Chain A
Amino acid sequence: MAAETGTPTTLTLKSNDDELFSVAESAAILSVTIRNMVEDGCAGGVIPLDNVDGKTLASVITYMNGISAIPADEEKKKSYRDKFLSDKDFETLADMVLAANYLNMSCLMDAVSAKIAQVMEKKSVGWVRRKFGIENDYTPEEEAAVKEEHKWTFEGVETDDDN
């Protein structure tokens, strides 16, 4: 790979809304999807990432640069991830998990999934539906039946608050 030449190679990534981003190859190959493209020799020009929008890609690149600057110290990496995700809202997290899935970045995927789970644990069904953009396709009767069947799950505290 590129590190052999001594000069850091830079890749150009293109989001699905046609924004261009420069990123060091050493950081970008955290994504297995990108690494495969580089290894297959398709990295010469611009790498199109059709499933990621510019806003999300910018965020992912920030993460790539941040995490690859940290030496092999799992503790520090974890605290970087926690800090990186701490100010992200739920919409952004949902976009990130999609991007991480598409880019095949397991470390980001795991961290974002855990963060989403942590949020979901505390929130009401209505809140999750709204924030996740889930369309409720139950008829009122069906919904009542499902609710009845899962009545035992509704004993905890939940909230509609955004925080």
Chain B
Amino acid sequence: MTISFNDDDRISRLPDDILVDILSLLRPDKAARTSVLSSRWINLWKHTPSLHFNGSLKFEQRKCVKMVNSVIQSHKSPTLKKFRITFPLDRPDSTNLLTRWLEFAFFRQRHFPEVYNIAPRSSTLSEFKSLKSLSFKGVNVSGRAIEFLLRNCPRLEQLIVSHSQDKTSKIEVCGSSLVLKHLKIAYCSALESLKISAPSLTSLGLTSLEGVLLENVPMLVDVSVNCDYYSPISIKKLFSVTSRCISQLETLKLGMLWFPTRKGNDELGTFPQMPKLKKLFIEYGPFDEATVTTLAYFTSASPYLQEFVLENKYKNAKPENIRMDDVAASGRFRHEHIKVFKFRGYHGRPIDDAIVACVLENFVVLEKIIIDPSGVSSLDIFSRLETEKTARESAKQHLQPQLPHRVEL
């Protein structure tokens, strides 16, 4: 076989699939530009098996968005191996855009889109059908988009949505066939309601309990709720939201807990029992006399607790208001399983020592007590180091003599 050719049709001798392979290495807009070369080229770029849109920070967002929209309008390849978007996306309609792009990618499915956008917000999405983990950080995803994803990613085990500002936010994570194990919905300030009904879910992380409805979560054992200082968790709310599953929990992590005053604590009535709880982390606001009561409530509600971490992030413990007698009076609770107690944010204040004393008195099988003075926000590193040093020394001074021999400090 001999093919005669001349120098003028060099590239035209290449079969279409090779040209398409070359075009798929170009940024999609550059590939689309080759339409103008000649009639043969007009549709070649529309068949590239992968699309990678990348923009840099100097590249205008408006142009990037236009580029993606134009490309997906014309693109004809029935399958996509790769669909990747990497540029900053931060505009009012980004939710709609993302939903549209994801839908485009889903219908060309095979391998999947990676949506990632550079600072200040980012998210990654890869490998759909076999996708196991999906996270959106700072991408405005609507409830509709999430439901779409859940329907289309039958193997999804982990879903993280954080810092989404979507305005019409109602999220439903529901489905009897979901294999989802880990769910985290964090810092979505506009979220109005969140309904969860996932038979395989084992761990759940939230930063707000507003509008949260837990329906069918038989496997849930690990719950973490981390609120910020301005909207602390009300314990009452916590128990009403988790009423269906609290008795099955093994790990509970609570950030910025807010307890009503003592009187309020009494109003709380029956404190739900947590017979399976093994690990408890409580990050507390400023300590006061109710802190010990809280300790007492939690430990008596969870008889098989093994590890207890208490953290105080605030330096000022309102010491002037604390009546030590009250602390001692409320501090009568015996616990026969806690082996490890960790106290972060210890400052050597009377209240701190009172708490430790309570712990030593009541946790009768304690093997290890960890006093960690760090975790306190302070102006500069040097004064913090100094503070921590002082606190460590006072921890030794105050606590060593009281320690029973079996307890390791």
Contact = CB atoms under 8 A, between A and B. Distances in A.
B42 A146 contact: yes
Contacts of B176: none
Contact of A153 (B15, B18, B33, B40): B33
A113 B22 contact: yes
Contacts of A154: 33
B383 interface: no
Contacts of B352: none
Given A152-B67, A153-B29, A156-B30, A125 B12 contact: no
Contact of B36 (A91, A116, A143, A152): A143
B27 A121 contact: yes
B14 A98 contact: yes
Given A51-B3, A113-B25, A125 B37 contact: yes
A149 B2 CA distance: 40
Nearest to B60: A155
**Number of chain A interface residues as a range:** 35 or more
A125 B3 CA distance: 28
B10 A95 contact: yes
A94 B30 contact: no
Interface in A89-138: 91, 94-95, 97-98, 101, 109, 113-114, 116-118, 120-121, 125, 128-129, 132-138
A136 B38 contact: yes
A8 to B, nearest CB: 30
Given A101-B14, A146-B35, A121 B29 contact: no
Interface string A1-37: 0000000000000001000000000000000000000
Contact of A94 (B3, B10, B25): B10
A153 B45 CA distance: 12
Given A133-B10, A137-B38, A155 B63 contact: yes
Contacts of A128: 34, 37
Main SS of the interface on chain B? Answer: helix
Interface residues of B, number: 36
B38 A134 contact: yes
A117 B26 contact: yes
Given A94-B10, A133-B9, A156 B29 contact: yes
B272 to A, nearest CB: 59
Given A121-B27, A134-B38, A135-B38, A152 B66 contact: yes
Listed residue (B8, B12, B34, B36) with the most chain A CB atoms within 10 angstroms of its CB: B36
B406 interface: no
Given A98-B13, A129-B37, A135-B9, A152 B70 contact: yes
A35 to B, nearest CB: 19
B33 A132 contact: no
Interface string A42-85: 00000000110000000000000000000000000000000000
A119 B14 CA distance: 17
A155 to B, nearest CB: 6
Interface string B263-280: 000000000000000000
23 contacts: A50-B3, A91-B10, A97-B18, A97-B22, A98-B13, A101-B18, A113-B22, A113-B25, A116-B22, A120-B26, A120-B34, A125-B34, A125-B37, A128-B37, A132-B11, A133-B10, A134-B41, A137-B40, A138-B38, A149-B35, A152-B66, A153-B32, A153-B33
Interface of B: 1-3, 7-15, 18, 21-23, 25-27, 29-30, 32-42, 63, 66-67, 70
Interface of A: 16, 50-51, 91, 94-95, 97-98, 101, 109, 113-114, 116-118, 120-121, 125, 128-129, 132-138, 142-143, 146-147, 149-150, 152-156
